[in-house]
């Protein structure tokens, strides 16, 4: 089983590249944003709980997010592997992911970080904001704050997996195909 964490700051291209990786390697794409929308849209117990935080402008607690992720993994036991997009966001979530996979006799094979400098990220998100419908994609100060939060809270996940030799930085600048080729080389080497 192949389990990959696609990692990087907002606007680094994770969602775009995840689609291509899913197609090539036949993995199940697990995006925390998709999980939230599904659970809330179906008024599950976790979805109702998540809504109660989001409606107040608060972050959904780790344990709620982890519960949603565990439900998705448990509901899809026969896949060839998973690509995690937007998860884990901190060390606590990393440890939980390791436990969830370990219970099934698996582990994370690789964490692939898309390296993109801050100015390029700002440019990409502002461009995305023209069509995304997300107000936070149109405000440069909010975008820079999101990058700062990523650097402070999420970036340490790279080092967590790097201790076991699973983290790799991949240049996230170039054409979609060039970036995908770089990612594919790392994935093929981690099998």
Which domain CATH number covers 124? Answer: 3.40.50.300
Q: How many CB atoms lie within 10 A of CB 101?
A: 18
Q: What is the pLDDT of residues 155-190, one digit of tens each?
A: 999 999 999 999 999 999 999 999 999 999 999 998
Mean pLDDT of the region 135-161: 88
Q: What is the mean pLDDT of the chain?
A: 91
Neighbouring-strand partners of residue 7: 113
Q: What is the pLDDT of residues 83-126, one digit of tens each?
A: 999 899 999 999 999 999 999 999 999 999 999 999 999 999 99
From the number of C-beta atoms within 10 Å of its C-beta (0-12, 13-18, 19+), residue 120 rates as middle
Q: What is the rounded CA–CA span in Å between residue 191 and residue 145?
A: 36
Percent of the chain with pLDDT over 90: 65
Asked if residue 1 has pLDDT above 80, the reply is yes
Neighbouring-strand partners of residue 82: 3, 28
Neighbouring-strand partners of residue 113: 7, 169
pLDDT at res. 173: 96
pLDDT at res. 25: 96
Give residue 18's domain range.
Answer: 2-189
pLDDT at res. 116: 96
Asked if residue 136 has pLDDT above 90, the reply is no
Percent of the chain with pLDDT over 70: 99
Q: What is the rounded CA–CA span in Å between residue 24 and residue 66?
A: 27
> Band of the pLDDT at 38, cuts 50, 70, 90?
confident
Pairing of strands 110-115, 167-171: parallel
Contacts of residue 36, defined as CB under 8 A and 6 or more positions apart, other chains included, come to 47, 50, 54, 60, 68
> Band of the pLDDT at 57, cuts 50, 70, 90?
low
pLDDT at res. 158: 96
Task: Indicate the pTM of the whole model.
Answer: 0.89
Mean pLDDT of the region 36-63: 84
What does the CA dihedral 133, 26, 14, 52 come to, rounded to 10 degrees?
60
Q: What angle do CA 167, 29, 91 make, to 5 degrees?
A: 40
pLDDT at res. 56: 74
Mean pLDDT of the region 10-15: 91
C-beta pairs of 131-138 under 8 Å, 24+ apart in sequence: none
Structural domain count, the chain: 1
Neighbouring-strand partners of residue 77: none
Of 2 and 142, the one with more pLDDT: 2
């Amino acid at each position: 089983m192949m389990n990959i964490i696609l990692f990087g700051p907002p606007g680094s291209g994770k969602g775009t590249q995840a689609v291509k990786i899913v197609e090539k390697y036949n993995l199940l794409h697990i995006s925390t944003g998709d999980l939230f929308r599904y659970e809330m849209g179906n008024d599950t117990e976790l979805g109702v709980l998540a809504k109660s935080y989001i409606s107040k402008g608060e972050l959904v607690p780790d344990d709620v997010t982890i519960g949603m992720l565990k439900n998705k993994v448990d509901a899809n036991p026969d896949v060839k592997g998973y690509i995690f997009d937007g998860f884990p966001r901190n060390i606590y979530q990393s440890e939980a992911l390791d436990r969830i996979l370990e219970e099934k006799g698996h582990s994370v094979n690789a964490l692939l970080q898309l390296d993109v400098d801050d100015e390029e990220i700002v440019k990409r998100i502002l461009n995305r904001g023209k069509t995304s419908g997300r107000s936070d994609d149109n405000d440069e100060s909010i975008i820079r704050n999101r990058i700062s939060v990523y650097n402070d809270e999420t970036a340490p996940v790279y080092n967590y997996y790097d201790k076991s030799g699973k983290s790799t930085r991949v240049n996230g600048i170039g054409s979609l195909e060039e970036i995908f080729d770089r990612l594919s080389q790392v994935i093929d080497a981690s099998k």
